[in-house]
Amino acid sequence: MARIVDVHARRVWDSRGRATVEAEVILKGGRGRAIAPAGASTGAGEARALDADQAVRNVNGPIRDALLGVDARFQEAVDAKLVALDGTPDRSRFGANAIVAVSLACLHASAAAAKKPLWRHLAGERRVAMPVPQVQIFGGGAHARGSVDLQDYLVICPGAGSFGESLEWIAEVYRAAGARLAKRGALAGVADEGGWWPAFKSNEEGLAELVGAISDAGFEPGPEVAIALDVAASHFYRGGRYHLSRDNRTLTSEQLHAMWLRWLDAYPIVSLEDPFAETDHEAMRAFTRAAGARVQLVGDDLFVTSAARLDPALANAVLLKPNQVGTVTETLACWQGAQEKGMRAIVSARSGETEDVSIVHLAVGWGVPQLKVGSFARSERMAKWNEGLRIEEALGNKALLYPAARLFGRKQASGR
């Protein structure tokens, strides 16, 4: 019942109106479907996507031929076949967009054949907890044409008691932030991931405005609603210096290190993602030594979802993006490697997203404690938050939210 009888791909569109790949894997006992996302901010070590038309042809040709008759229940074997068939370290023969769509579709098909929701299929009998949402409020960097240098200003709700309550609180903060910007004439629109596109005069102004929005929404900055930053520092790193165009400043690694420490003291920041360039390992090491005990330091471009690249001396958390590495199995290996090394993890969407909700099921089913899918607007984002609500409802009185206090235990600066 779980043998693959057909594999088919088509060209569909992502949230930026760019072509991408949707794959279907058909079994005698069920079928699965998945769509490949795409990032605007990409690490140098990411698996390589191809033109969508070429990727679709690769799925409908050699990938289909190789998978016919394969037992979809054995995801690791399916993914190993895909990797071997491609034969390149960066998935550039068939395209990471082709491979990840097929890998995820196979996982969905296997769950359908087992007549289980995907999250339960992944979790087995293990008790699950809902991941803590991490939600963009202001977009910048590559997501808003450099309106500010930092890529994402996000919020996390350490004080919320459930996944649903977290989203309720974040909705209030999101609306309050938009109202504040509109009142000041500083609202330029909506960024790639649904966050507000701000017209800030400095990068730090974004932090002050976010603290203000949290307070305006009726929450205590820090204990109830805290801040996370996705810096994506590689994008303003040139010639061994960090060029903050919004601040009209050029900083050394040491100066940027000092700025981050000052911000940690002044604002309720609980997570920093890629605070230094992916190649600036010395700076990451020094900052992890100095601040790793007080803040979550996340490697995205730094680790590109590769288990082989994980190094707790560089960061204490990793972002997990299936299309960044190519297959479900490799993504899971990165999560397992992070656990073995005592590192935290966040399952993450991409800036070019679709209605596909696979990553929500991966986060819940694998027990990854955090989920980041962009902002609290635009249907490609809300599809994922709403899927989380459905899963939480299905859990009923067994529904638990991963305890944020275990992730962000220290008392944060209020910023007020």
List, by residue number, the catalytic residues: 193, 321
Longest dimension (CA), the chain: 62
Residues 6 or more apart whose CB falls under 8 angstroms from that of 292 comprise: 315, 316
What backbone torsions phi and psi does residue 254 show, to the nearest 5 degrees?
Answer: -65, -40
How far apart CA 316 and CA 368 sit, in angstroms, is 14
DSSP state of 89: T
How far apart CA 353 and CA 37 sit, in angstroms, is 5
CA dihedral of 7, 8, 14, 19, whole degrees rounded to 10: 130
How far apart CA 316 and CA 403 sit, in angstroms, is 18
How far apart CA 320 and CA 305 sit, in angstroms, is 5
How far apart CA 308 and CA 364 sit, in angstroms, is 24
End-to-end CA distance of the chain: 60
